[in-house]
Structure formats: structure tokens, C-alpha cells
Structure 1
Amino acid sequence: MEFKITENGIKTETGYGELVISGDESYGFRPYQLMIASLAGCSASVMRKIFLKKKLKIEDITIQADVTREVEEPKKIEKVHLHFLIKGDNLEGKMDRILALTRKYCSMVQSVEKQIEVVETYELV
């Protein structure tokens, strides 16, 4: 990837268009938002693959992310709580194992877990 400095942040071209990153949310995504999106996106993608492999029918997955950051600069991310709201069939008794496998195979969680506390919970809806 190649990044270019702009007046209000940095930008890069992706296969899906331009990604603009800025400390000012009015110009682009803030870096911490991209970090949280990476954790949630990776976890959801891995979880979906597990559901497919186990032939479990899922109607919907929503991820709520709560972030705890230090008060003082540089406002490091201390904790991310990913709460999965899952609508599907025959999931009772299977989700604890699926959540453990999701954590194990999500490369983004594995990359940051020694620096950031990542907590995953779920709710069947």
C-alpha cells in the first residue's frame, strides 16, 4: 500500500476507492475507528466462515463495539468489547466454541491482544 500526505490527513487508493484518514473526523476516518473496524470486520468474517463450515443457518450478525481509551494523550486504546448479536437457527450450546474459534483465527485480534484487551460476547436474538 502507498499513502500520500494531504493537507488534512493521508490517503490511499484501494480496490474499492480512496481511503482518507485524518485526526479530524470531518475529513476522513480517524485511525482508531479503522482499528476498531478491523477488529470487528475480521472477527465477523471469521465467524461467518465458521458458520458456513458448520452448515449453520445465520440470518443476521450485528457487532456492537465499545472502546475504552486512555484519557491522557496519546489516548491509547485500552480495551475493545465486541458484542455480537446473532440471529440464526440451532445455535444454542454452540456459540461459546464458535466465539473461541473466532478469536483464535482472527488475525487482527491476534495481532493486538497483547497490547489491547479484546473481549468478545454474544447474544442470540
Structure 2
Amino acid sequence: MNTHQVYTKWLGNMTFEATNPGGIIKMDSDTEFGGNNDCLRPKSMMLASLAGCTGIDIASLVEKMRAEIDTFTIDVEGDLTEEHPKFYHTVRVNYNFFGTDLDEAKLHKIVYLSVDKYCGVMEMFRQFAKVEVNINYSKS
């Protein structure tokens, strides 16, 4: 079994600092909830984790499958429930590929290898949210 651990320290007010083997991040809340509005939000970090997980898969697969792209971006949006505890009930993951000679079929395969097989964060999200995937191609 592989165990991950994060050490989190309260810095006062609504600010926390979390340390993991890869670095340190700070979290805060909106001023509306007593925070300083100057750090990452915990729920938004979940969306960023999803983008990072699938992004790492995509970068690796683009290289392995020799897909020709200039770059790509991933936009993730999440819709929260109205009632507490608020959680994401629907998440949209938008993959945007840019390049002069994009092989759309290959890129589609790459995305769905991440979505269906490799991205553990995607699988975690599927346990509590509907996940919608969109792929956009921009030829330059």
C-alpha cells in the first residue's frame, strides 16, 4: 500500500500552510468568511489537482505517442451543491490543444487514456460528481 501524507499548520485567521514532499502551499478563504482572500481555496485546489493529474498523463502520452502539438491547456469548472456540505456535483474538464498539424484522433485517444485509465484524481471525482470531458483543437 502506498500512503501519501500532508502536514497542515494553522497560520492564524483562516490561513493554513500544507507541506507535502513536493513543496508547500497556502490556503485561505474569502474575506466574506473571515479570510484574507490571498491564497488558494481548498475546493479550487481540488479542481487544480484534477487538471494537474490528467495534465501529467497527457504530457507523458503526447511524448510516448509522438503527437505533434505546440502546447495544451486544461480548464476545469465545478458546480457546487446548494446545501451544506457543499461539494462538486458536476465537473467539466476542457482540454485545449494548439498546433499546426494536430492529429485529432490521436489526441482524442490520449485524452481518454488519461480519463478512463490513468488519472486517479479523475476516478476519485467520478465517485461523487458527474464528469464531463470536452476536447478543443486550435490549429495555428
Question: If the length of structure 2 is used for normalisation, what is the TM-score?
Answer: 0.79
> Paired residues, what number?
125
Question: For 2:133, which of 111, 115, 120 is the aligned residue?
Answer: 120
Q: Is the 8 A contact 2:67 2:106 kept in 1?
A: no
- Write out the 4+ residue segments of structure 1 that deviate beyond 4 Å after TM superposition: 14-17
TM-score (norm 1): 0.87
What residue number does 1:2 align with? 7
Q: Residue 58 of structure 2 corresponds to which residue in structure 1?
A: 47
Aligned residues with identical type, % of pairs: 24
Q: Following TM superposition, by how much is the alpha carbon of 1:113 offset from its aligned partner in structure 2, in angstroms?
A: 1.1
Q: Note the aligned Cα RMSD (angstroms).
A: 1.9
Looking at structure 2, the residues matched to 70 and 33 of structure 1 have their Cα atoms a distance apart, in angstroms, of 14
- Whether contact under 8 Å (1:20, 1:27) holds in the other structure is no
Query: Who is 1:83 aligned against?
Result: 94
SS of structure 1 residue aligned to 2:71: strand
1:107 aligns with 2:113: no
- The answer on 1:62 being equivalent to 2:40 is no
Listed as ranges, the gaps of 5+ residues in structure 2 are 1-5, 31-35
- Structure 1 residues without counterparts, runs of 5 or longer: none
